[in-house]
Structure 1
Amino acid sequence: MEDARHDAPQRTSTPEAAPDAPDAPTLLVKIFGRDRPGITAGLFDVLAGYGVDVVDIEQVVTRGRIVLCALVTAPPARGAEGELRSTVHGWAEAMKLQAEIISGIGDNRPRGEGRSHVTVLGRPLTAQSTAAIASLITGVGGNIDRIFRLAKYPVTAVEFAVSGAEPAALRSALAVEASARGVDIAVVPAGLQRRAQRLVVMDVDSTVIQDEVIELFAAHAGCEEQVAEVTAAAMRGELDFEQSLHARVALLAGLDASVVDKVRAEVRLTSGARTLVRTLKRLGYQVGVVSGGFTQVTDDLRERLGLDFAAANTLEVVDGRLTGRVVGPIVDRAGKARLLREFAAQAGVPLSQTVAIGDGANDLDMLNAAGLGVAFNAKPLVREAADTAVNVPFLDTVLYLLGITREEIEAADAVDDGPAA
């Protein structure tokens, strides 16, 4: 290698050899074997002795085995290609690696119009599911340009970089397969706006927390059954949200206001909620919650999690007791979407670059208004209407839909969640 470096031929500059010319000769150098430090540096040290330019590089390490591909221009000196091949093979043999060198013309073929990130979450992710997903991508004219793993726990998350198919067509084709295969699939258009989604707004009950706050209050008032009956009537369409809210809150009339502290202590964060918020905040996102529940709980969550925004209904308290009424504008389905827009305006974030997460019909307007609407362990109607769905009980898996890897999460010093303190 030393001789090759010292005797490297001088670069020639001819139109035929220009590295960016579509018909310029190139070499694909592929190295594979057991990974160890110094392989990448060693290969390019060898190639440097022949005056080649790097056109493309791809390196993957899986279970301690490396595959390193380097696409380089052909050596400019006449007859130097044979010597380069011999030197690379000799270096690889000395490193106990295998080498393959393929001559060709130009760079990779241009990618097709329409580029997307297809994120797949599986628990587990089976070979059958992966085969079906790849087949469907091909079926709508897409080409898989690259696949890489985002996480191996608590779910297996992989991302396909796809070109040649419109995101809407991909989403439609993959939605049915996701349900049939028991995996979650998100399709997000490629581009800078993916990382620029700097505002995430979440529902609270059964999303950020595991509980329904009205039921926690009802348990202290001894009216769980009555509240459940009103909730059931609302689900049957006999009451709208505002009517249902007023009817349930009326059952709390006379309850001592000290119950608020008890309810706050009983609230259980959803697994991954703290990790999600901490990671987003450290990556520069702004985070908020909107709830059809009560500010008596959301204000506490805002302080506990370090949220930027929080909005909900407010229980009226007079002389130390709940009156059975709420004060101020009602946060209902339309109200959640309105608040998303208000939060985005305050944060200086275009609505197209927001993310909304929720589980119920009351979240639909918000999910549809956001740039990316995520249904989290949601009712079938909500899953069908949202851009994508997550059906595992870990809220931080939403990070993978944003292209954030497990390594980035760990680098953000995320912590494990437990019951709310």
Structure 2
Amino acid sequence: MSAPHNPSAGGPPAVSGTDTATLLVKIFGRDQPGLTAGLFDALAAYGVEVIDIEQVVTRGRITLCALVTAPARGPAGGGDAEGQLRATVHSWAESFRLQAEIISGTGDNPARRAGRSHVTVLGSPLTAETTAAIAARIARCEGNIDRINRLAKYPVTAVEFDVSGVATERLRTELATEAAAREVDVAVVASGLHRRAPRLVVMDVDSTLIQDEVIELFAGHAGCEAEVAKVTAAAMRGELDFEESLHARVALLAGLDASVIDAVREQVRLTPGARTLIRTLKRLGCQVGVVSGGFTQVTDSLRDYLGLDFAAANTLEVVDGRLTGRVTGEIVDRAGKARLLRRFAEEAGVPLSRTVAIGDGANDLDMLNAAGLGVAFNAKPLVRQAAHTAVTVPFLDTVLYLLGITREEVEAADAQAQR
């Protein structure tokens, strides 16, 4: 919680060396209005300089810490300025039925070590056993937990650990193993200013942005849904070549009246949290796109409905008002999705390091690996193992927590938009 010195302010920082005497003043008890002001009013009489402050309120209980320079003088005069300060703070705290602790020491907080990461843990529920295991794994790879902050309490519990002292890639590998063993979702990203910079977020469509597999909806109208679903499942598991399976499935749609396209659009169901995810990202200045092994006849309408910046998919060929059983143009397959991610990033003016890709199937893997952060969303085992992180709860907006966006920020943005 150390505060950097501002060179423009003129003069040296409050604590220039480790031998400078300092006091850590800790207050804890029932939260009440005016406590922070009251504590610093009490300290002001001693002419101390504030080095650092941290305050947390949990279930109506406040913990307030102030790191200040040791006093050189007291308002009552005399030589024991520190003793007078201690008496003043304890008396003030007792008047509010608070507890106070004052610890003498020297210098500022130790500098955080190199290798800084944000570790986001999603649990539904998040148990003490899981939290202990994650914290122990961080310690075993010589990482230090500098701060912990809750990002959300529903629809999942999401907490974020600020960790230093271990490389991000090593920490990600270590915690992926622990997450799999504990059946919890953990994301590890490098800290830095880039985290709050505008991003490009690109999603798969079928079973990610929407709950359905579009080709199976078409197949339902052609009477071959079970056959198509079987091939789709094998392709998403990586057992079949995607392009080959696409042509085989689309061939079964030959002869369908083109009016079925409107019927399928009406059947599409957005994944819970999809609107919130997109709306919040857009308000934060991010750009959002979709790439799909499905069909432009559906993705284009989703683009317009949700206000997406980019959309790409395969196109069903229609001749004389009927589906021909073929697709036209360049096939959007596994490699094609990664190419489109790169193209969208270039058009958006966003480096790949600030891109986020979300998908569930084997044909999303190249895209997930190419992005700065690849998120496997309720994905097949092969995809969960290969992606940077996984989300196993059915709410798409939980991806926001992986980006350090709190539930309170989402709700505040919604409230502001409604005014």
- Residue 228 of structure 1, CA deviation: 3.0
CA distance, structure 2, for counterparts of residue 126 and residue 272 of structure 1: 24
Residue 278 of structure 1 contacts residue 414 of structure 1 at CA under 8 Å; is this kept in 2?
no
**Secondary structure class of the residue paired with 1:413:** helix
Question: CA deviation digits over 1:22-64, x for unaligned, max 9?
Answer: 2211100000000011111111111122111111111111110
Give the match for residue 322 of structure 1.
323
Distance in structure 2 (CA, Å) of the matches to 1:225 and 1:405: 41
Counterparts in 2 of 1:170-319, with a 5 A limit? 170-196=171-197, 198-231=199-232, 234=235, 239-319=240-320
1:61 counterpart residue number: 57
Q: Does 1:137 align with 2:138?
A: yes
Spell out, residue by residue over 1:223-246, the C-alpha distance to the aligned partner (whole angstroms, 9 max, x if none): 113323443664687741111111
What TM-score comes out, normalization by structure 1 length? 0.92
Distance 2:193 2:391 in 1: 23
Q: Please report how far the alpha carbon of residue 76 of structure 1 lies from its aligned counterpart in structure 2 after TM superposition.
A: 2.6
**Within the alignment, does 1:52 sit opposite 2:52 as a pair?**
no
Q: TM-score, normalised by structure 2?
A: 0.92
What SS does the corresponding residue of 1:281 show, helix, strand or coil? helix
- 1:85 Cα shift? 1.1
Instruction: Determine if the alignment matches structure 1 residue 369 to structure 2 residue 365.
Output: no
Q: What is aligned with 1:165?
A: 166
State the match for 2:5 in structure 1: none
Hey, what does 1:6 align to over in structure 2? Answer: none
CA contact (8 A) 2:237 2:380 kept: no
Would the alpha carbon gap of residues 239 and 178 (structure 1) be closer, same or farther in structure 2, given more than 3 Å must change?
closer
Unaligned 5+ segments in structure 2 are 1-10, 74-78
Amino acid at match of 1:313: N
Cα separation, partners in 2 of 1:131 and 1:376, compared to 1, 3 Å:
same
Q: Which amino acid aligns with 2:141?
A: V
Deviation at 1:18, TM superposition (A): 5.2
CA contact (8 A) 1:24 1:105 kept: yes
Q: Which amino acid aligns with 1:26?
A: T
Compared CA separation, residues 260 and 307, structure 1 to 2 (3 A): same
1: CA distance between counterparts of 2:181 and 2:239? 33
Deviation of 1:414 after TM superposition, in Å, equals 7.7
Conserved 8 A contact 1:333-1:363? yes
For residue 7 of structure 2, what is the aligned residue in structure 1? none
1:78-125 deviations in Å (ceiling 9; x for gaps): 532111111111111111111111110011112111011010000111
SS at match of 1:129: helix
User: Which one is further off, 366-375 or 406-415?
Assistant: 406-415
| 1:389–1:233 Cα change, 3 Å | closer
Q: Which residue of the partner structure matches residue 85 of structure 1?
A: 86
Deviations 1:300-354 (A, max 9, x none): 1111111111110011111211111111100000000000001000100001110
- The match for 1:113 is 114
* Counterparts of 1:357 and 1:232, CA distance in 2: 18
Q: Which moved more, 1:226-235 or 1:65-74?
A: 226-235
AA in 1 matched with 2:15: P
The whole-number CA distance in structure 1 between the counterparts of 2:237 and 2:403 is 35
In structure 2, distance between residues paired with 1:118 and 1:237: 30
Moved more, 364-373 or 315-324: 315-324
Q: Which secondary structure state, in structure 1, belongs to the residue aligned with residue 137 of structure 2?
A: helix
Aligned residues: 401
State the distance in 1 between where 2:205 and 2:219 align. Answer: 18
Pairing 1:27–2:23 present: yes
Once residues 239 and 384 of structure 1 are traced to their aligned partners in structure 2, the CA distance between those partners, rounded to angstroms, is 19
Distance 1:245 1:211 in 2: 16
**1:94 corresponds to which residue?**
95
Deviations 1:172-201 (A, max 9, x none): 111111111111001111111222251000
SS state at 2:374 partner: strand
One-letter code aligned to 1:138: A
Residues in 2 aligned to 1:39 and 1:233: alpha-carbon distance in whole angstroms = 61
Partner of 2:414: 413
Amino acid at match of 2:80: G
2:4 aligns with none
CA contact (8 A) 1:279 1:414 kept: no
Amino acid at match of 2:258: A
The one-letter code matched in structure 1 to 2:318 is V
Work out whether residues 238 and 362 of structure 2, in 8 Å CA contact, stay in contact via their aligned partners in 1.
no
Structure 1 residue 42 and structure 2 residue 38: aligned? Answer: yes
Q: Secondary structure at the match of 1:137?
A: helix
- Residue of structure 1 in register with 2:348 after alignment: 347
- Matches of 2:415 and 2:214 in 1, distance apart? 26
CA distance in 1, matches of 2:157, 2:270: 23
CA contact under 8 A between 1:118 and 1:161: conserved in structure 2? yes
Q: Evaluate the alpha carbon distance shift between residue 232 and residue 303 of structure 1 in structure 2; reply closer, same or farther with a 3 A threshold.
A: closer
* Counterpart residue number, 1:74: 70
Cα separation, 1, equivalents of 2:119 and 2:234: 39
- What amino acid is the match of 1:85? R
**Residue 311 to residue 99, structure 1, CA distance change in 2 (3 Å):** same
